[in-house]
Chain A
Amino acid sequence: MKWLERLTAVAAKEVRQLSRDRITIGLIVGLPTMQLLLFGYAINFDVRGVETAVLDQARTSLSRRLVADLGATQVLGEIRQAGTNRELRALMQQGEANIAIVIAPDLERRLAKGDRAALQILVDGSQPALENVAAGLAAMPLLRRHGASPAARPVEILVAYNPEKRTAVQIVPALCGVILTMTMMVFTATAIVRERERGNLELLITTPVSTAELMAGKLLPYVGIGLVQTTLILALGYWLFDVAIAGSLVDLYLGALLFIAASLALGLLVSTIAQTQFQAIQMALVLMLPSILMSGFMFPFEGMPRAAQWIAQVLPLTHFNEIIRGIVLRGAGLGDMRPELLKLCAILAVVLTLARARFHKRLD
C-alpha cells in the first residue's frame, strides 16, 4: 500500500499548510455562511415596498380609497402623488418611483362600463421582477369590490423603458457593473500582492517613490482597462442584443469612471490585507458575492429586508446599477442621479482613506 502512504502524505501536508493560512481558514467558514445568510434572508422574490407614483386624475372618493387600498397591500411602499403626467415621468426617470399608477379621470364610468381600462400601471422595465408585481396588483379583487363589472379588464399594464420585455435590456447594463466589479477588484488586489509576494515591493518602498505615487501609478492603468471593458460590454450589448443607450455617453462614462475608481479602491484595500494572491482573490470574492446578490442586479432591491438594504448601500455596485440603468434605459442624466453619485463619492473617499492608512512604506 505504498500508494496510499504517498497519497495520505500529500493530503496531510495540504491540510497542515491550509491550517496555517488564517485568512483562508476564515473564508472556508465565512464564505458559505455569508452566502447562506444572503440567499436566505436578503434574497426575496416576494417584492414589498416598491416605490410608487400615483397620478390621480379622477380625484374622487373612490379613487382615493383605491389608492389607500393599494397602499395597504404592502407590495407598494411609499406612494407619491404626481400632479401631472410629466411629473410622473420625471419621478420614474430619476428612479424615485419604479411603478406608476395612472387613474383615469372618468374612473367610475369606465369601471361600470368595463370597455376601457380605468387604471394604468406603468412598470419600470429596467428593473427585474417588477412586472410580476404589476400583474399581481392587476389581479387583485380590489376593483371588483369597487364596482367593476366581472367581464371587464379594468387594469392595463404598460412596461416603460423596455416595452418588449427583453431580459437583455435589463441584464446588459447591470452586467457592465458586475463585470467591472469582478475585474477591477481582482486585478488591482492581485497586482499589488504579486509584487509583495515576489519581493518587488521591498525594493520599491526603499526608493523615493511616495505612497500616493505608488498607489496612483498602480491604479491608473486599470482605470483605462475599466473604460475599455465598459466600452466593450456596451458595444457588444448594442450589436448583439440591441440594447441602445438612451442617455448621454459622456454621462455614462463619467458615472463609469467614478464606479471604476471605487472598485479599484476596494481592490487596493484588499491588497493591504492579503499576503498572497490566493488570499486576495478570495477576499475579492467575499466583496463580489454580496455585490452580485444584493445590488439589485439579479433580485429586486425592494424585496430585501431593511438590514440587507443598508448593507447594499455600502456596495458601489448598488449605486452604479441605478446610474447605468437610468442613463442607458431611461435616458436619465447625471443630474437625475445626484444621490447615487454622492454615495459613490462617499464610498470612494472612505475606502481610499482606509487603504492609504493601511498602506505603509514599511514591512511591519
Chain B
Amino acid sequence: MSVAITARGLARRFGAKWAVAGIDLDVPRAQIYGFLGPNGSGKSTTIRMLCGLLVPTRGTVSVLGHEVPRESEVVRRKLGYMTQRFSLWDDLTVRENLEFMCRVYGLGRAEIRERIADRMSRYDLAGIAAQRAGTLSGGQRQRLALGAATLHDPELLLLDEPTSAVDPQSRRDFWESLFELVGGGTTILVSTHYMDEAERCHRLAILDDGRVAAEGEPKALARDIDAAVVEIGEIDFAAARRSLAGLAAVRSVAQLGNRLRVLLPRGTPEPERLIRAALADGNPGAQVVRVGASLEDVFVAATRLRGDASSPGRAA
C-alpha cells in the first residue's frame, strides 16, 4: 500500500496551548481518510500543517514524498485545499473564479477551457456560471469550491469540514463526487464532525484534544471498540438516569428516541445483568439488550473513556 501522507510526532503549539499534541499519521493513497473530532480537537491545525500553512512546533511531515514545510512549494502544485470557510471571491462570478484559479495554477489556454467546461458539467455549475459567488447557496458554493480545488487535477485533496454549511442532499452528492475522484486515483483527506460522513471513509482517525484517540477502518473500529454497549427500553427515563448515575461502571448514557444507550468498560462481566439490577427499583420491567457498537459509540469511547484515565475531570 502506497502512502500519500506520513507524519511522525506532529505537534503545534499556540501560546501555552498545544493544538496538536504529537500525532502519527499514515494516509494511504487513493482512499478517503477521515479526521473525526469535536471542534478544537486539532483537525484544522493538522490540515494546515500538512499543506505548509502552519509550521509544526515539533515532528516531521512528508506529503506525496516531499518534506513539508521545506518543500511546500512543490507540494502545492499537487495539492488541492478546500478551506473550512468559503474562500473564493464573492465579487467574482463562478466562471471568473474558476478561470482565476486555473491561471494561478499556470494552466494553458486550451487546458483552461477544457477543465472549466468539465468541472462545470461535473459539478453542475453551468447554470450559474455568470452568477457572482456571493449570491450562491451553501450547496452551490461548495460545488464551486470543489470544482476550483480540483482544477489542476491534484493528487491529494485536503478538505476541511467541507459540508458544514450544506443540506443533506448536497452532502450526499458531494460524497458521490469524492468517491468519483478517489476512483480516479486521488487521495482525499477530509475532516468532519458528522458520524455518517466518518462512516463513509476508508480509514479514520478520531482526534481528541490534539491526539489521535483511535485509528482504523470504521467497521474495525466499531468491532474492536474498547467498550460494551447496552440499550435499555420501556423505562421511565428520569428514574433510570438517576439509577445509572450511581453505577460506577457506566461511562456514558445517551438517549436515542425512547431508548437509552449506555457504554461500559469492555471488560465488564455481564453488563446486562449489572444494569438490570441497578434499574430494579424504579424500572423493574426494563428491556436491556447488548448491541453492536456504532461509530458514535467508538467516538464517545475514544474521546471520553480514554480521557477518563488521564484526566478524570473531563469524563463528565
Q: Could you list which residues of chain A lie within 8 angstroms of chain B, going by C-beta atoms? A: 198-200, 202-210, 361-364
Contacts and interface: CB of A to CB of B under 8 A. Distances in A.
Contacts of B105: 207-208
Contacts of A210: 73
14 contacts: A198-B90, A199-B85, A199-B86, A203-B87, A206-B51, A206-B52, A207-B104, A207-B105, A208-B73, A208-B104, A209-B104, A210-B73, A363-B53, A364-B54
Contacts of A364: 53-55
Most buried by B among A205, A207, A364: A207
B266 to A, nearest CB: 41
Contacts of A208: 73, 76-77, 104-106
Nearest to A210: B73
A199 B48 contact: no
A364 B45 CA distance: 11
B51 to A, nearest CB: 5
Interface in B37-80: 48, 51-55, 69, 72-73, 76-77, 79
A208 B71 CA distance: 12
A198 B87 contact: yes
A206 B79 contact: yes
Given A198-B90, A208-B105, A203 B52 contact: no
B204 interface: no
Interface residues of B, number: 24
B73 A203 contact: no
B175 interface: no
Given A198-B87, A198-B90, A199-B83, A206 B106 contact: no
A203 B87 CA distance: 6
B174 interface: no
Contacts of B55: 362, 364
B152 to A, nearest CB: 9
Instruction: Tell me the interface secondary structure of chain B in the complex.
Output: loop
Contacts of B69: 362
A205 B79 CA distance: 12
Contacts, number: 49
Task: Sort A-B residue pairs by CB-CB distance and give the 9 closest, nearest first.
Answer: A203-B87, A199-B87, A206-B81, A199-B85, A363-B53, A207-B104, A209-B104, A208-B77, A206-B51
A203 B88 contact: yes
B101 A202 contact: no
Interface of B: 48, 51-55, 69, 72-73, 76-77, 79, 81, 83, 85-90, 101, 104-106
A362 to B, nearest CB: 6
B161 to A, nearest CB: 13
Contacts of B77: 208
B83 A207 contact: no
A200 B86 CA distance: 8
Most buried by B among A199, A203, A209, A210: A203
Nearest to B76: A208
Contacts of A203: 81, 83, 87-88
Given A200-B87, A203-B83, A207-B76, A362 B52 contact: yes
Nearest to B106: A208
Nearest to B57: A364
Contacts of B101: 207
B76 A202 contact: no
Contacts of B90: 198
Contacts of A363: 48, 53-54
Contacts of A204: 104
A131 to B, nearest CB: 51
A206 B54 contact: no
Given A203-B88, A205-B53, 12 more contacts: A198-B87, A199-B87, A206-B52, A206-B79, A207-B101, A207-B104, A208-B73, A208-B77, A210-B73, A362-B53, A364-B53, A364-B54
Contacts of B104: 204, 207-209
Contacts of A361: 52, 72
B88 to A, nearest CB: 7
B115 to A, nearest CB: 15
A207 B75 CA distance: 9
Contacts of A209: 104
Contacts of A199: 83, 85-87
Contact of B53 (A198, A200, A206): A206
A210 B77 CA distance: 12
A363 to B, nearest CB: 5
A362 B89 contact: no
A355 to B, nearest CB: 20
Given A207-B76, A207-B104, A202 B52 contact: no
Contacts of B79: 206
Contacts of B81: 203, 206
Contact of B76 (A198, A200, A206): A206
A364 B55 CA distance: 7
A362 B48 CA distance: 9
A207 B53 CA distance: 11
B88 A200 contact: yes
A97 to B, nearest CB: 53
A202 B83 contact: yes
